[in-house]
Amino acid sequence: MTATVIDGKAFAAKVRGQVADHVARLKEAHGVTPGLAVVLVGEDPASQVYVRSKGKMTVEVGMKSVEHKLDADTSEADLLAVVKSLNEDPEIHGILVQLPLPGHLNEDLVINSIDPAKDVDGFHISNVGLLGTGQKSMVPCTPLGCLMMLRDHHGSLSGLNAVVIGRSNIVGKPMAQLLLGDSCTVTIAHSRTKDIQDVVRAADVVVAAVGRPEMVTGEWIKPGATVIDVGINRIDAPEKGEGKTRLVGDCHYDSCAEVAGAITPVPGGVGPMTIACLLANTVTACCRANGLAEPEGLTA
C-alpha cells in the first residue's frame, strides 16, 4: 500500500482563506477587526522565526498584529504588566506568549495571567479544564490542526482506535482529549509504555508527538492506519553536503507510507496547520468577545 499524503500546507492555506473571509465579513458587517498580540521575551532564534511568520500571516488574513519584544532579562512583574495591558485592550482578541520563556520566569504563572478568553494557545488552566470536561474552550493550535486534518480525511472518527504517542501538555494530552471528544477509543503512549510497538500497531489513527527523529517505523503501523506526524527534528544530512541538515518527523516517512492508508509529511504536514489554527482561534475569540456567530469548522 502507498499512503495518501495529507497535504498540511494546502490544508493550512484553505484554513487561512476561511479565516480571511470571516475577517472581511467581521470588518464589513460589524466594524470589528480581530487583533492578535504576540509577546516574545529574549532572542531565541527559533522563537524569533516563529514570531515573525505569525505576524506576517496575521496581517495577510486582514487581522491586526501587535508584537511586544522584551529583553531576555525582563522581570516577571514587567512581563505580567504587559499581559495585563493586553488583557484590558479591547482591540486585542488573542494573546500569545511565545514559549519557552527564559528560566527566571514562571511559565505557568505567566500563561495563567492571560485572560482565558484571549488565550489563543489554549494553555491557560481554565481552557485545559474546559477542554477536559467537553465544554467550549480555546483549543491548543497543534492538536486542533491535527484534528481538522483527521476529520477532513475520515469524516467521522467515531469508534476508531487512536494512539497518541507523547503526553505533553501542549500536544499529547490535548490531542487525546480532542480524539476522545470525537468518540475515538484513545490510548496515550509515552516513554514508559511497555511493548509500545504492539500498542501502536493496534491503532487506526496514530499521532506521534515525541521529538525523536524517525522513531516510529512502518513495522509499528497497522496496514491502512492514518499517521499524523507532529515531530519536527533537525538531523544531519551529509548527502546534501558538509554541515547540511534536514527536517524529519517522529515517523520514518518512507517505511510508514508503505503501510499506512494516509500520512502527513514533515515538513508540510502538521507544521503549517499550527499557525493557521492560531489565526482561526483569534477570529473565534473575536467573535465570542463580540457576541457574534463563530466561523464554522474552525474549532473543535
Give least dist CB 265 to ligand NDP, A.
Answer: 12
Residues 216-255 that bind ligand NDP (CB under 6 A): 230-233
Give least dist CB 254 to ligand NDP, A.
Answer: 19
Give least dist CB 95 to ligand NDP, A.
Answer: 18
Active site annotation includes 121: yes
Q: Is 211 in the site for ligand NDP (CB under 6 A)?
A: yes
Give least dist CB 143 to ligand NDP, A.
Answer: 9
Backbone dihedral region for residue 130 (phi beyond 0: left; psi -120 to 50: alpha; all else: beta): alpha
Piece in contact with ligand NDP (CB under 6 A), picked from 97-105, 107-115, 161-169, 236-244: 161-169
Edge-to-edge strand ranges of the sheet holding 94-97:
64-70, 35-41, 94-97
What percentage of the chain's residues is helix, strand, coil (to nearest 5)? 45, 15, 40
Q: Is 209 in the site for ligand NDP (CB under 6 A)?
A: yes
Cα–Cα distance, 132 to 111 (Å, whole number) = 18
Q: Which of 29, 31, 192, 291 binds ligand NDP (CB under 6 A)?
A: 192
Q: Is 165 in the site for ligand NDP (CB under 6 A)?
A: yes
121, 182, 204, 250: the active-site residue: 121
The answer to whether the beta carbons of residues 15 and 298 sit under 8 Å apart is yes
Q: CA–CA distance from 199 to each of 159, 226, 261 (Å)?
A: 17, 15, 18
Active site annotation includes 54: yes
Give least dist CB 250 to ligand NDP, A.
Answer: 6
Q: CA–CA distance from 1 to each of 202, 220, 223 (Å)?
A: 18, 15, 8
> Residue 170 or 292: which CB sits closer to ligand NDP?
170
Total residues belonging to the chain: 300
Q: Is 210 in the site for ligand NDP (CB under 6 A)?
A: yes
Q: Partners of 263 in the beta sheet?
A: 5, 227
Residues 259-298 that bind ligand NDP (CB under 6 A): 270-271, 274
Piece in contact with ligand NDP (CB under 6 A), picked from 11-19, 82-90, 156-164, 188-196: 188-196
Q: Is 154 in the site for ligand NDP (CB under 6 A)?
A: no
> Residue 92 or 149: which CB sits closer to ligand NDP?
149
The answer to whether the beta carbons of residues 67 and 40 sit under 8 Å apart is yes
Q: CA–CA distance from 273 to each of 17, 243, 268 (Å)?
A: 13, 29, 9
The per-type count for the chain, helices as H runs and strands as E runs, is 10, 11
Q: Which residues are identified as catalytic?
A: 54, 98, 121
Which residues contact ligand NDP (rule: CB under 6 A)?
Answer: 142, 165-168, 170-172, 189-192, 196, 209-212, 230-233, 270-271, 274
